[in-house]
Amino acid sequence: MKKLQILGTGCAKCNTLADVTKIAADELGLPHELEKVTDMMRFADFGVMITPALVVDGVVKVSGKVPSLPEMKALLQTP
């Protein structure tokens, strides 16, 4: 099971990133747990300075933008 974390303050882009991530994971049939992290102190633990960000299994995959659905699928499939 993949652990997917959305780092953000709850802004529109953060919510969009969460939506795109969930849709991509569901369409791929990827077992996952999705967590929204809103505590800015935890962002620093990942070295993230620009939100929104996506962390997959502890690795930052994207920061500061919302990828398209095809891009997100590719991100979720890469180790």
Q: pLDDT (tens digit, 9 = 90+) per residue, 23-50?
A: 999 999 999 999 999 999 999 999 999 9
Determine the straight-line distance between the first and last CA of the chain, rounded to whole angstroms.
Answer: 13
- The type of residue at 44 is A
Spatial separation of the C-alpha atoms in residues 30 and 44, rounded to whole Å: 27
User: Are residues 54 and 5 in contact, defined by beta-carbon separation less than 8 angstroms?
Assistant: yes
Residue among 49, 35, 37, 33 nearest 9 (CA) = 37
pLDDT-derived band at 79 (thresholds 50, 70, 90) equals confident
Residue 76 reports pLDDT greater than 80: yes
Is CATH 3.40.30.10 correct for 2-77?
yes
pTM of the predicted protein model? 0.93
